[in-house]
Structure 1
Amino acid sequence: MGTRSSIAYEDPETGIVTSSYCHYDGYLEGVGQTLVENYASPIQAREVASGGYYSALSQTVELSLADAVNKDEPQTFANAAAYFEDAKEAWTEYLYLYRQGVWFYAEPGGAAGPFLVRADDPNAEGEEIWRNVAGVLGLGPEKPRSYALG
């Protein structure tokens, strides 16, 4: 069974979000770390978010697509809030969003838990907050630490 995730890129000029599905290793130490270490530039982030479907995420988009068992197209959303809302229905365990040069993540929690938690208290239900992947993993700067959709 996989740890499902969605990898997205927000266009800084239009706010349009493009996302792709990844079936395996969606947790922070898997897909999250791979994104921070291998897809840190805006060009790389846009490319990985446009892949459509990945069985697992590798160090390059080409390797990731070569191993994919499906050929789904990427999804697009009018903005980050629409991407966020769509994920509530998709049973995706981790959402990743490249926004303003930083990879952020959120944990939807499925039917069993809250959609997201507050960045200052990982055990509390609360606001719609995205957290900085590199900062949480100790791989890079923690600022911006988080942001609320709005």
Structure 2
Amino acid sequence: MHPIDEHDVEELPLSQQVFVLYFAEDADTNLGTLNTLLSSGWSVAKVSAMSGTGELGDNTPGSLFPYSRAVLALDDGNHHKTQEASVVWFADTASTNLNSVNQRLGTGREVVSLTALSGTWELGPNTPQSQFPYSRALVIHE
């Protein structure tokens, strides 16, 4: 099983589409694709974390970290503010991107959705910078 690539977005009739976000680390994610959709007028209607995402090893050659996934229902065009998505990751106060996410929010943006991402189980040689496993959450802000 390989991470979802160019087929992340499934067009639906009407004015919605479903998007599957995957995140292993900042360099191995389709978060940029989601933010491109959001900046072009789509908005997040609903988010649900997906289970079964603890893949490691040969199945996830792009990253040492297991993948988290979420499914999002996106609405087209009738949202008054542009949304942006971030994934906050946290193991301990020295191993987190919390400051980076808070800097984006400090520019007058407001959190409209927080969703815990499941299946992050990293520990040991895959997370040498922390003795704690990582937790992740998807943050939608506008």
Is TM (by shorter chain) over 0.5? no
How high is the TM-score relative to the length of structure 2?
A: 0.29
Larger Rg: 2
Counting helix residues as a fraction of each chain, which structure ranks higher?
1
Could you say which structure has the higher strand fraction? Answer: 2
Structure with larger RCO (C-alpha < 8 A, sep 6+): 2
